[in-house]
Amino acid sequence: MASIYKLSVSGVRSFSGDTHETIQFERPLTLIVGANGSGKTTIIEALRYATTGDLPPNSKNGAFVNDPSMTGATETKAQVKLAFQNVNRTSMVLTKSLAAFKNARTGTTSFKTRENQLVAIHNGEKQTVTSKMADIETAVPQQLGVSRAVLNYVIFCHQDESLWPISDSASLKKRFDEIFDSVKFIKVLETFRAIQKEMNVDIRVINNTVEHLRNDRARAHHKHAQVAELNRQVDRLNAESETLAREIEAVNKEADRLFATNQDYEKTISRLEYLRQQESSLAQQMDVIRSTTTRVDLPDAQIREQLDNFANVLVEKRSAVEQLRVQIESRSAQLARAREEYNTSVREEGRLRGLFERHEQNRSEKQRLEQQLDQTRLDALAAEYADKEAAHKAALEDVEFELTTLKEELAREAQHAEYVRNDVDALETKRAKFQQILSLSSSNQARLERERTELAAEELELQQLRDSSPLAAINEKIAQTEKQIRQLEVEQEDLLRKVSQASRQSDSTAKVYYLRRNLESVEQKLENAYSRLETRDVDAFMARYKQTEAAVLEKASRVQELRETLNEAAITHRNGAQQLAGSRDELAALEKDVRTVLGAAPLAQFEELLEDAEYEFSDCDGGFKVREYCIGFNKRAIDLINHKNACLLCHREFGAADEKSRVLELLAKQTSVLESDHSAEEALRAARDKLDRLKEVSGKVERHRKLAVELEQLQKDVEAARERETVAREQFESEQRDLDEQQAHKSQLASLLSAVDEVTRLRDEQVSLQRQLQGLKDDMALFGGQLQSMEELELAQAQTSSEMKRLRLVLERHVADREQYSRRLMGLESMIKDRRLAIIELEKSDLDNVNVRKSLHELETEIGQLRATLDRTEQAASVLRASHAAQQERYGELKRRGEDELAQLLPELERLRQTQAQIAALDAQIREFEQKHAGQTTFEQESARLREQIARDEVELDALGVQLRELENDLKDADNAERNLRYNLDLLALEQQQSEVRATIAELAQQQAESRRDEYVAQSKQLRARQTQLQSEYSTKLGEMTQLSRQIQSVKHELQRDYKDIDERYTKEYASLQTKLSMVTDLTTYYKAIDSAVMEFHQVKMKEINRIIDELWKKTYMGNDVDSIMVRADPIKSSTAATMRSYNYRVVMVKNGTELDMRGRCSAGQRVLAALIIRLALAECFGLNFGMIALDEPTTNLDDDNIESLAKALANIIQERATQRNFQLIVITHDEKFLRAMNAVDFTDHYYKVIRNERLNSTINKVQISQLDD
């Protein structure tokens, strides 16, 4: 619930810019009183400007701010500050600063806002919400929980605009629409409708797309089935081809065997040459190995046995190394855990020792405090303090009761005096009326005659008006016009039905048009494809293409064989050349890299250099780790001393400051020395670099040794490969020229294959479109006849709507004529009735003069008695005020005396209670220590045991490290020994191979080749014939497979080109269609729900508003000419919507069950009262979160009776709403009598009086309500 509790104004209107005038808004009533022109309305203007940002009417160009001309300055500043609580009960402060500037040259005044700030206060801390003007104008109404329109038109309505509820229809509609926020909801509904229309169009488009995609998907599935069938045929041909290939391979092997038999002699010579080359190569390899290996004079088997056992020994040593490393890691982890347990034990021992010392201190302190505490004295002081406090409170309550009694008696006397004054004033008024009646009685006779003459003339005019009454003719015209309108409405509904039917048929017509266009496009593409093929016989074209393709395949097969032979020879030559060049480059690079690291040292010493570098790195690494550990230990020790004042090893606290400083100084000095010494780090870095470089080139050294042996053989292989490549290239180029000519012809035919595929696809699409077109035509035939076109129906609708508008205008004119005649008739009847009443009154006046004189005498007597009573009442009130002042002095004296007596006892009592509390706290700490730590023992034995265990683990760890280093050295030496054994084995194998080659050469030199040429020629002819037959069949199968593969590729290309992702696209579009349909359904549901909710909200609110208006009017209005008033909301029926969301508003008055527009028929006082009551009702309905309303001069144009009744009604409202926490009524008036009639004294004890000071600036003064009569 939001509320406003303070306003500060400076430099606005008549308020001075040098001071800040402040007003505190109370609950439930705040009164502001002042003479006309004192500045009362400025308070409402400031509230309205602060909450909405709107300036008062007619205040442009800086009229709201003090004019700089009045002060002789070029600039004046103003500020409005508002303190309020928002709907969440958070305190907030809004500050708005303004300024007016005067142009010295033109003399014009301009106005602008300066600093603005909205601050929230949370737990006494200020937090800026925003300082932007636009954000503030939006944020403040939100914080108050009401709309800007309610603030402007209801809560802080300006006096110049206070009669807006009785304004013209357009202004009234605008303000009510803003209060109801109806424009916002109408825009939302219109947006919903526009979105729904757009989505319906999208649905029609997507539906067409889905239909096309469904057809394409069916075609794509057919194509996939075709591809699957072709793949099965290809697999079958592939199996047959593999069978033929195996037969061809068998025939080729047989031919090769015959050829080999025939070529034994050539092979024998070739093999002798090859064996001699192999013998030379083996000799070279043996020379290289002998130059790098120490010969071992043992048999092959023994060397191999040593090598095998050597490998097992190495495996065992490596396994032992790994086991030692695992043991070292385990012992290291065990040692770390022991050290951690030792540190924990030392820390726990130190902590318990500190707790025990603190426990002993607490016991000593408790004994000391118990000796100091005097419990008897404490109990006595407490009892004495309680007795005196009770006696003092009882005495004060007695005096307060007497003060309350006197105040109530004084209030009763003041109220009695007020009632007496009111009665005197009322009697004085009646006496003045009686005197006026007596003064007017002499002229009543002439007035009576005049009234009778005018009555006769009015009765004659009424009779003539009734005789010539056109009412029956007007009613007949109205009935005929309404009948014609109803007929046109029926025609309009029929046209809407026809439009809906035509709209449904228009979708089908649009689809037919779309399909025809697509069919024409497909037929045109089909003709273009036929023209490209130059024939309509697609099968003949494909037969010619297959023949050409078979010839090309056969030639391509031959070219492919030659290409493979050429490629093989070229690859062999290129690989050999590349291998040779690469080996040379690699050897040079290896030589360079190795020399970069080894320098002038020979390669044979590489292993010794590597071993020396490893030893050097291990020593440097150990020294560096020791340095880093020492630095880390010292820093942890310094950290613990600084934060916990304890030692890192024993965790005991330092007792003396000089001891702590000496330790810190020693640790810092050691740490500084260690950190400044970088020699160990530099030595480690140098050793690591040297070891890394040697390890990097170890593989290069090994590779260098092998490459030196391989280069010569590679040179010979490259020369032989070059000769084979030259012969194969000449054969390949000859066959390739023939193949290019045949492929050129085939390419011409292949370029037309896409046209063949397009013809097939377009034929299928043509049949599908024809089938869809025929289906739509059949569906349209179900409408049973030709419908009107959409243009004709729209034209008929426009004509019907125009005729209905014309008839409604005619109907409005007839109704206006009837209403004008009725008003004239009612006016004459009312005038005649009033005239008769006036005549009766005048006739009675003569008879009443005697009674008036008698009543006048009685009134004067009663006035005298009341004045005497008033004097007695005022004397009694004076006596009561004096007694009340004396009691107040006595109350103050008793309160001071009691406080002094209690203050004398309080210091000693507080000191004793504090001692008692300290004893209780110490006792709790002692009990806690005894409960938690009484059974715990020292950790010294555990610490000693852990120190011994750490020493044992360190010794064992050092021993394991020595063993590990010895095994690693053995492994390094073993690599060279193993390599020498392997080279000896290689040398023995080469010697054995050399012996075998020499024996084979000797054997081949003694053999002679026998010729069997006749048998070879016969068998060769048979094999060639069989080979030719099988090759032909194989080529045929390959041609068929190639053709099928091309068909598969063609279909796949078509699928990729025309039906790519067809399933995904169909699913996506279908899902989009269903989503759009669901969205349209949901939008329709939301539209109806919002429309219904808006209508229901409006109806409920209007009923509530009219109920409150009726209740307030009947309580307030004292006349009998208007029974009640209400706000009528007449719905405006839209031609494009079935519901009515817009309303015209009018204020009507009810008299004898008849409703009449109040505007133009009521008096000024009735307008003021009606506008005020309507604002109160609107505030009640729309200000639930912000229950404030400001009434500026509510008694304007009201007579005394209505002023009094309004005052009583406001008093009743205040009483009813007093329990509402945020209800605040602000009444601004110059009529103090109105405040007395409200009984304002019952709701507040002060009011604010706005006056002008000596400088004519407005000031706000807080005045006690008791001074209102003064």
512/493: higher pLDDT: 493
- Whether residue 879 sits in one domain with residue 741: no
Quickly count: other Cβ atoms within 10 Å of residue 410's Cβ.
Answer: 19
| H or E stretch at 1151 | strand 1142-1151
What would the mean pLDDT of 736-747 be, rounded to a whole number?
76
Residue 493 CB-density burial (10 A; 0-12 exposed, 13-18 middle, 19+ buried): exposed
Contacts (Cβ under 8 Å, ≥6 apart) of 848: 437
- Whether residue 239 sits in one domain with residue 350: no
Q: Determine, yes or no, domain membership for 1150.
A: no
Quickly count: other Cβ atoms within 10 Å of residue 12's Cβ.
Answer: 24
* Spatial separation of the C-alpha atoms in residues 74 and 105, rounded to whole Å: 11
Contact at 8 Å (CB) between 19 and 13? no
Q: Determine, yes or no, domain membership for 823.
A: no
651 Ramachandran zone, left/alpha/beta (phi>0; psi -120 to 50)? left
What is residue 1139's predicted lDDT score, i.e. its pLDDT?
Answer: 47
Residue 55, CA distances (Å) to 64, 571, 807, 1247 in order: 7, 96, 46, 26
What is residue 1138's predicted lDDT score, i.e. its pLDDT?
Answer: 44
For residue 481, give the amino acid letter: T
Contacts (Cβ under 8 Å, ≥6 apart) of 567: none
- Whether residue 205 sits in one domain with residue 145: no
Query: Which pLDDT band holds residue 258 (cuts at 50, 70, 90)?
Result: low
Q: Which residues pair with 112 in a beta bridge?
A: 99
Pairing relationship of beta strands 21-24 and 3-10 according to DSSP bridges: antiparallel
- Whether residue 233 sits in one domain with residue 100: no
Backbone angles phi, psi at 750, to 5 degrees: -65, -30
- Which pTM does this prediction carry? 0.39
What is residue 826's predicted lDDT score, i.e. its pLDDT?
Answer: 72
* Spatial separation of the C-alpha atoms in residues 1199 and 1237, rounded to whole Å: 13
Contact at 8 Å (CB) between 1094 and 1131? no
Query: Which pLDDT band holds residue 413 (cuts at 50, 70, 90)?
Result: confident
Q: Of the ranges 216-225, 262-271, 643-652, 769-778, which is most confident?
A: 216-225
Contacts (Cβ under 8 Å, ≥6 apart) of 49: 55, 56, 64, 80, 96
1153 Ramachandran zone, left/alpha/beta (phi>0; psi -120 to 50)? left
The percent of residues above 90 in pLDDT, for the chain, comes to 3
Query: Which pLDDT band holds residue 1009 (cuts at 50, 70, 90)?
Result: very low
Q: Which residues pair with 84 in a beta bridge?
A: 4, 92
Contact at 8 Å (CB) between 1190 and 1226? yes
| H or E stretch at 114 | strand 109-122
Residue 510: which of 200, 202, 205, 203 has the closest Cα?
205
- Whether residue 210 sits in one domain with residue 306: no
Which range among 550-554, 895-899, 907-911, 1023-1027 shows the weakest confidence by mean pLDDT?
1023-1027
What is residue 642's predicted lDDT score, i.e. its pLDDT?
Answer: 76
What is residue 288's predicted lDDT score, i.e. its pLDDT?
Answer: 63
Residue 1012 has pLDDT above 50, yes or no: no
Contact at 8 Å (CB) between 159 and 1165? no
- Whether residue 871 sits in one domain with residue 958: no
Residue 787 has pLDDT above 50, yes or no: no
* Spatial separation of the C-alpha atoms in residues 813 and 474, rounded to whole Å: 10
Omega prior to 28 cis, within 30 of 0: yes
Question: pLDDT tens digit string along 94-104?
Answer: 999 888 887 77
Query: Which pLDDT band holds residue 629 (cuts at 50, 70, 90)?
Result: low
Contact at 8 Å (CB) between 707 and 587? yes
- Whether residue 252 sits in one domain with residue 124: no
Question: pLDDT tens digit string along 1152-1173?
Answer: 878 888 887 888 778 888 888 8
- Whether residue 919 sits in one domain with residue 947: no
Contacts (Cβ under 8 Å, ≥6 apart) of 680: 620, 623, 624, 627
* Spatial separation of the C-alpha atoms in residues 644 and 641, rounded to whole Å: 6
* Spatial separation of the C-alpha atoms in residues 532 and 538, rounded to whole Å: 12
- Whether residue 864 sits in one domain with residue 732: no
What would the mean pLDDT of 478-499 be, rounded to a whole number?
77
What is residue 811's predicted lDDT score, i.e. its pLDDT?
Answer: 78
Q: What DSSP designation does 1131 have?
A: E
Which range among 271-280, 519-528, 539-548, 671-680 shows the weakest confidence by mean pLDDT?
271-280
What is residue 560's predicted lDDT score, i.e. its pLDDT?
Answer: 72
Contacts (Cβ under 8 Å, ≥6 apart) of 1005: 272
Residue 489 has pLDDT above 80, yes or no: no
* Spatial separation of the C-alpha atoms in residues 273 and 261, rounded to whole Å: 19
- Whether residue 320 sits in one domain with residue 252: no
* Spatial separation of the C-alpha atoms in residues 534 and 1198, rounded to whole Å: 106
Residue 509: which of 319, 788, 870 has the closest Cα?
788
What would the mean pLDDT of 1014-1021 be, rounded to a whole number?
62
Contact at 8 Å (CB) between 168 and 1169? no
1227/574: higher pLDDT: 1227
For 730, the token pair is 């000449």
- Whether residue 565 sits in one domain with residue 640: yes
467/55: higher pLDDT: 55
Q: Determine, yes or no, domain membership for 791.
A: no
What is residue 438's predicted lDDT score, i.e. its pLDDT?
Answer: 67
Residue 464 has pLDDT above 60, yes or no: yes
What would the mean pLDDT of 704-715 be, rounded to a whole number?
74
For the chain, the domain total comes to 5
What is residue 1263's predicted lDDT score, i.e. its pLDDT?
Answer: 87
Q: What mean pLDDT is reported for the chain?
A: 76
Quickly count: other Cβ atoms within 10 Å of residue 254's Cβ.
Answer: 16
Query: Which pLDDT band holds residue 211 (cuts at 50, 70, 90)?
Result: confident
Among 896, 929, 962, the domain boundary falls at 929
- Whether residue 1258 sits in one domain with residue 1209: yes
Q: Determine, yes or no, domain membership for 530.
A: no
Quickly count: other Cβ atoms within 10 Å of residue 587's Cβ.
Answer: 17
What is residue 790's predicted lDDT score, i.e. its pLDDT?
Answer: 56
Which range among 252-261, 447-456, 1212-1221 shows the weakest confidence by mean pLDDT?
252-261
Query: Which pLDDT band holds residue 93 (cuts at 50, 70, 90)?
Result: very high
DSSP string spanning 15-81? B-SSS-EEEEPPSSEEEEEE-TTSSHHHHHHHHHHHHH-PPPTT-TTTTTBPPHHHHT-SEEEEEEE
What is residue 82's predicted lDDT score, i.e. its pLDDT?
Answer: 93
Residue 895 has pLDDT above 50, yes or no: yes
Residue 1200: which of 334, 152, 243, 433 has the closest Cα?
433
What would the mean pLDDT of 81-106 be, rounded to a whole number?
86
- What is the Cα Rg of the chain in Å? 60
* Spatial separation of the C-alpha atoms in residues 328 and 957, rounded to whole Å: 6
779/737: higher pLDDT: 737
Q: Determine, yes or no, domain membership for 226.
A: yes
Domain that holds residue 884: 381-439+855-929
What would the mean pLDDT of 328-338 be, rounded to a whole number?
76
Among 729, 750, 771, the domain boundary falls at 750
Query: Which pLDDT band holds residue 1133 (cuts at 50, 70, 90)?
Result: low
Residue 411 has pLDDT above 50, yes or no: yes
What is residue 9's predicted lDDT score, i.e. its pLDDT?
Answer: 93
Pairing relationship of beta strands 1258-1264 and 1188-1192 according to DSSP bridges: unpaired
Contacts (Cβ under 8 Å, ≥6 apart) of 872: none
Residue 1136 has pLDDT above 70, yes or no: no
Residue 578 has pLDDT above 70, yes or no: yes
Contact at 8 Å (CB) between 732 and 563? yes
Q: What is the CATH number of the domain that holds 564?
A: 1.10.287
Among 984, 1006, 1028, the domain boundary falls at 1006
Burial 142-152 (b: 16+ CB within 10 A, else e): ebbbbbbbbbb
Q: Determine, yes or no, domain membership for 516.
A: no
What is residue 648's predicted lDDT score, i.e. its pLDDT?
Answer: 62
What is residue 274's predicted lDDT score, i.e. its pLDDT?
Answer: 62
Pairing relationship of beta strands 1142-1151 and 1124-1132 according to DSSP bridges: antiparallel
What is residue 1232's predicted lDDT score, i.e. its pLDDT?
Answer: 80
Which range among 81-90, 469-478, 840-849, 921-930 shows the weakest confidence by mean pLDDT?
840-849
1132 Ramachandran zone, left/alpha/beta (phi>0; psi -120 to 50)? beta
Q: Determine, yes or no, domain membership for 845.
A: no
Q: Determine, yes or no, domain membership for 970.
A: yes
